[in-house]
Structure 1
Amino acid sequence: MSEHDAAVLARIRQGSLYTESEAAFLAPQRRADLIFDYNQTRPSDTDRRRTLLEQILGSVGARTVLLSPFHAGFGSNVHIGDDFFGNVNLTFVDDVEIRIGNGVMIAPGVTLTTTGHPVHPDLRVDFRRFSEPIVLEDKVWIGSNAVVLPGVRIGYGSVIGAGSVVTHDIPPMSVAVGVPCRVTRAITQDELRGRV
């Protein structure tokens, strides 16, 4: 890796601004053709789908279900634990790492985006952007059409309501909803009685 590329990578990891041209050296990590192939496979072809997921993702746990179609900027920066369920139209904007724990469920139409752009238009030349990792801890459930923004960590067992836009960290064992997403209550042992 050249000194220039190493310096750009360091800026990316620090959450600083970088341009499309500066980050072009990362292009070989994109898995667009493999993602296309995955999205064209038959749902019943589980062996082929598993093989493709292992080629696309940075790491993938056991008993993973990812329904088609899904989309990813790279794919190689996504790490999924065991017992994952991702419903249709899941989008990973994974310019940097997205780490998903065990037992996570994601409903249809969810976007996990590690990347944003500056507000001032003069700073968006050459698609200038910043990227910060996303972490979904074990047993998180994200409702339909939610968006998780750069740098967010969602704590163990938390539930994100449908349509929410998650702009900041959510503590463990919380129900959080809204735009912007806010914690509305804690999840307690009383929930074990049934649907709440």
Structure 2
Amino acid sequence: MKTEKEKMLAGELYNPLDKELSDDRLRTRLLLKELNDTREDKEEERSRIIEDLIPNANEGLWLQPPFYCDYGTNMVVGEKVFFNFNCVVLDVAQVTIGSRTLLGPNVQIYTATHPMNHKERASGLEFSKPISIGEDVWVGGSAIICPGVSIGNRSVIGAGSVVTKDIPAGVFAAGNPCKVIRHLDQDE
């Protein structure tokens, strides 16, 4: 029989109030409190906290506090990724972010979702869909990335966009819902 955590990571309906998951989120909240309270000149302390918070991050991850996430352990982050102020990552499922990707202030990445059927939703169970953001992507401020979305390498997502469907590589996409505006030249 699967644990609630195994169900969560498999994208199946799971109970978010499960003790193991609640304990994991509490650990994360305490690390986030530490991170968000660090002074700007305490780089070594921030680095230590980030290593504990997001163990699957590569070199050069920059999180500009405040930053928020559900678990941190379900994030896989490439090299030299930048999160500007006030980003939120609901990493109930895996969130993969490629190297050199830039996320503007207030970007929100949501893998968590709920059943459309009101009876299932009333049960308190939820599920998740993984998100993948490629390399060299720029996500403008206040964009929202919805569950199950992939964004291709080198793409740019306009500020305030709501990304509800996959975005291919090498495009500028914007709007609500987000759609491809134009293809980018290789030199752009």
* TM-score of the superposed pair, with normalisation by structure 2: 0.91
Structure 2 match to 1:12: 8
Q: Residue by residue, what CA displacement relative to the aligned partner does 1:134-158 show, whole Å, maximum 9, x if unpaired?
A: 1111101100110001111110000
The Cα RMSD (Å) is 1.7
> Unpaired runs of 5+ in structure 1?
192-196
Report what 2:41 is aligned to: 44
Cα offsets for 1:165-188 (capped at 9, x unmatched): 111111100111111111111111
In 2, Cα distance between the equivalents of 1:155 and 1:139? Answer: 9
Question: Secondary structure at 1:189's aligned position in 2?
Answer: coil
Per the alignment, residue 93 of structure 1 pairs with 90
Conserved? CA contact 2:9–2:92, under 8 Å? no
User: Contact conserved, 1:147 with 1:163, CA < 8 A, in 2?
Assistant: yes
Where has structure 1 moved over 3 Å in runs of 4 or more?
Answer: 8-14
Cα pair 2:5 2:21 within 8 Å, conserved: no
Matched, 1:173 2:170: yes
**Aligned twin of 1:134:** 131
TM-score between both structures, scaled by the size of structure 1: 0.88
> Kindly tell me: are residues 13 and 20 of structure 1, through their superposed partners in 2, closer, same or farther at Cα, counting changes over 3 Å?
closer
Query: How far apart, in 2, do the equivalents of 1:126 and 1:49 lie?
Result: 39
* Match of residue 27 from structure 1: 22
User: What SS does the corresponding residue of 2:88 show, helix, strand or coil?
Assistant: strand
Residue number among 101, 111, 114 corresponding to 2:108 in the alignment: 111
> Displacement, 1:4?
4.1
Higher-Rg member (1/2): 1
Contact 1:19 1:126 in 2 (8 A): no
Pairing partner for 1:122 from 100, 119, 122: 119
Query: What is the correspondence of 1:177-196 to structure 2 with a 5 Å cutoff?
Result: 177-189=174-186, 191=188
SS in 1 for 2:89: strand
Q: Partner of 1:194 in structure 2?
A: none
Secondary structure of the structure 1 residue equivalent to 2:73: coil
Give the CA deviation at 1:119. Answer: 2.7
Matching residue of 2:148: 151
Cα pair distance change 1:127/1:50, threshold 3 Å: same
Contact kept, 8 Å, 1:29 with 1:76, in 2: the verdict is no
CA-CA distance at 1:78 after TM superposition: 1.4
- Structure 2 gap segments, 5+ residues each: none
